Amino acid sequence: MTEEIVKAPEAKIETPEGVSIYEIAYHALSTLAEDEVEKVTASIRDLVEKAKGSFVAEGAAQLVTLAYPIAINSGGKNTVYDRAYFGWIKCEMPTEEIEALQKALESHKQILRFMVIKTVREDTRASAQMVSGGSLKEVKRGGTIKAKTSKTAEQETAEKGELSEEKLDKALDEMTNEA
């Protein structure tokens, strides 16, 4: 997928009463072309806006292997998916609008499955490493999407420097002598 910069509108720091922060995690069908996946994401954004929501952060959809195959029955025929495009959107919206949003997502034909979680604004950084070595795109309040890549163990070791057995023994001796 091509990387593009997406500006998020300035969001309020305080969450007013009756408004909560939600994260929508979704899997779009793996049979979609990359430009169709962006249309699915755009349709989810439209649903959030119709529900009087504002955006906090977003992770661009990327093709992932599912933990287990999922069978979907459409027109009397089962289709099994073992991969899907995974993406997420964090938004602020009135709590009374969330049920309508969930019903709209359930009827979306190109979404394999989704989950809506009530969360907090500050928790916008994904801590999971990308297994495929890909990058994670994130939209911050009033900011732009930034590509992040996970560091390999070799890169982290090179940055910190090698730890020899001699240094390790010395450090252990100092710790045990202090106690």
pLDDT digits (tens, 9 = 90+) for 126-155: 444 444 444 445 544 444 344 444 455 555
**pLDDT value, residue 3:** 46
Q: What is the pTM of this model?
A: 0.61
Residue 88's beta-bridge partner residues? 25, 59
Q: CA-based angle 173:178:179, to the nearest 5?
A: 105
pLDDT digits (tens, 9 = 90+) for 74-90: 788 899 999 999 999 99
Which structural domains are found in the chain, ordered by start?
Answer: 19-150 (3.30.70.60)
